Structure 1
Amino acid sequence: MTHRLGANQYGKAETRVVRIVRDTPVHEIHDLNVSTALRGDFAAAHTTGDQSRVLPTDTQKNTAFAYAKLHGVSSIEDYALALGRRLLEACPAAEQAQIKVERYAWDRIGDHSFARRGGGVRTAVATVGRDEAHVLSGIQELVLLNTTDSEFKGFLVDELTTLPEADDRILATSLVARWRHGSTDVDWNASYDAALATLLRTFAGTYSRALQETLHAMGGALLDAQPGLAEVRFSAPNKHHFLVDFSGFRVDGLTNEGEVFVAADRPYGLIEAQVLRDDAPPAGDAWLAVAGFC
């Protein structure tokens, strides 16, 4: 039997980098989770154990820490691009560096005091090649809920279907959204703030016949609002809320008119979708190499 080495990459996952900016009495905090990966000609490491072309993952970790100071973190996209370029300089055998950054939000409660904020986590993925770079901005763990203006009916039914049609239901999800920029000449923070506002406004203002329809509306609104974006991708678990049946309760006058629900965490429907601009520039292999749908 013959065989050959296929696609491969290596790196350092989930380096927790906390950068405190102390230039003034009012401090800033950048709380990051950084994962790096290198792709290129590393076949010898796999086939013969030759590590001569391998930049250690420990060095990648150290570079993530050092660049938090040397380059700074004005935005996670800018930081990821700088980190990726530095790793390519340090590792000649690498053809691409992919940097994934999550940023955890903190609310200021004093000049040098903060409280960790819940809610969505800002994300960025920079894929840096020798000749081009692609950036995905995004958000994850963004929990959204509409109490009405959502239905689900007219679906396919067979002998195992038990789900009743719903004219009015709770629509809820823990959203992952990624949007690809057409260039790297971007005001990253302004673009992110505007994108989040568009997603929230569209979710709240869209009558939904299905979560799929809501995601499509959100993606279209984001592309319309920011011409520099090429595409949007969503991964949206349906956080089901089922109406509690009071019919077996022996309490006179107790009814449930869409007021009391049980939140079920699993199993859940998982809706994933991509919305593309018709004239979007191709992302090439760099985009295809992003792990997972979103």
Structure 2
Amino acid sequence: MGIVLGPNQYGKAEVRLVRIDRGAAEHRITDLNVSVALSGDLADTHLTGDNAKVLPTDSQKNTVYAFARDGIGEIEDFGLRLARHFVDSQPAVHRARVRLEQYGWQRTTVDGQPASHSFHRTGDGTRTATITYDGGTAWVVSGLADLTVLNSTGSEFWGYVKDEYTTLPEAKDRILATAVSAHWRHRDAGERDWGESHRLARAALLAAFADTHSLSLQQTLHAMGSRVLSGQPDVVEIRLALPNKHHFLVDLSPFGLDNPGEVFFAADRPYGLIEGSALREDAPPPGEAW
């Protein structure tokens, strides 16, 4: 039986990049983690060790820094610039995928006034983007990760299958908490206000989580995805992963105390993991987007 080379790619992972824009009186900070993966006519390096078509990963890292010198802007635009450069400048590279994570910083306030040059990290989740380009078509998937949310009421879970191993009691009023990871695919990579699109999607996720009376985390997931699609015709598909951050009522009776739904143990593991997607009926095929 013969052995052939299967799908492969290579690149520079997790290039840490911080850019300070100093042009205005108030500085701006952009904090990124950038990963590049290239594929194409690269069989020789795998089969014979011939590196004639290999752009070193160190060169890829340097490209990220050099492109940042001209400014970053929205991370989707920065990723498109990088992906197109790698494919268009390297004959052997037929596809480039650039994944970006943007960490949030907030301007520090001193005596009620924003400081011009002092920042602190936010806990509002991480903005993400994945850009794929094959020389003809570009795909853009925007997203966010680790956006932790909690509803202190308005959630139930009952009527589920019970077998000989079931110990979980039914709940008609429970805490619902999760750390949202969501990625949404745009219809095309045409020019648009990526920042405003991300703001609208994030607001839709938060609003749907807040105002959905949840009978299951699955129901909440679908409501969140549907809200994002309803608000932006350009977004054709969204995929979500919601870990169920369980909160268990602590039994205070050994201490002679009651617990009217006020004191909880926040368990970090194990946890239920709910994953799903929502998409438009007329959504174009994802191609290389995901």
1:184 equivalenced with 2:183 (yes/no): no
Q: Which runs of 5+ in 2 are unaligned?
A: 109-114
Q: Partners in 1 of 2:246 and 2:45 — Cα distance?
A: 47
Q: Of 239, 244, 251, which aligns to 1:245? A: 251
Amino acid at match of 1:60: Q
Amino acid at match of 2:68: A
Cα distance, 1:90 vs. partner?
2.8
- The TM-score normalised by the length of structure 2 is 0.95
Contact persistence 2:149–2:178 (CA under 8 A): yes
Q: Of 260, 278, 283, which aligns to 1:280? A: 283
Q: Partners in 2 of 1:271 and 1:195 — Cα distance?
A: 20
**SS of 1:160 mapped into structure 2:** coil
After TM superposition, where is structure 1 displaced by more than 6 Å over at least 4 residues in a row? none
Q: Partners in 2 of 1:237 and 1:250 — Cα distance?
A: 32
Contact persistence 1:10–1:38 (CA under 8 A): yes
Q: Of 264, 267, 272, which aligns to 1:264? A: 267
1:140 equivalenced with 2:139 (yes/no): no
- The percentage of aligned residue pairs carrying the same residue is 54
Q: Deviations over 1:165-224 (max 9, x none)?
A: 111111111110001000122210110111111111111000000111001001111101
Q: Partners in 2 of 1:281 and 1:239 — Cα distance?
A: 34
**SS of 2:285 mapped into structure 1:** coil
Q: Deviations over 1:111-157 (max 9, x none)?
A: 12211212200001001111101001110010010011101111111
Q: Deviations over 1:89-128 (max 9, x none)?
A: 2321111100011111111121122112122000010011
Q: Partners in 2 of 1:250 and 1:100 — Cα distance?
A: 52
Amino acid at match of 2:102: R
Amino acid at match of 1:255: D
Q: Partners in 2 of 1:58 and 1:42 — Cα distance?
A: 17
Amino acid at match of 2:272: G
1:62 equivalenced with 2:67 (yes/no): no
* Equivalences, count: 283
Q: Deviations over 1:260-288 (max 9, x none)?
A: 1101111111111010111111121x12x
Amino acid at match of 2:198: Y
- Aligned residue for 1:48? 48
Q: Deviations over 1:33-77 (max 9, x none)?
A: 00000011211111111111111100110011111113x211000
Amino acid at match of 2:130: V
Cα distance, 1:2 vs. partner?
2.2
**SS of 1:258 mapped into structure 2:** coil
Out of 18-27 and 208-217, give the one that drifted further: 18-27
Contact persistence 2:88–2:135 (CA under 8 A): no
- Aligned residue for 1:213? 219
Which residues in structure 2 correspond to 1:219-238 (within 5 Å)? 219-238=225-244
Contact persistence 1:104–1:122 (CA under 8 A): yes
Amino acid at match of 1:75: E
Cα distance, 1:231 vs. partner?
0.3
- Aligned residue for 1:105? 104
Contact persistence 2:205–2:228 (CA under 8 A): yes
Q: Partners in 2 of 1:174 and 1:153 — Cα distance?
A: 22
- Tell me the C-alpha RMSD between the 2 structures: 1.0
Q: Of 146, 164, 167, which aligns to 2:169? A: 164
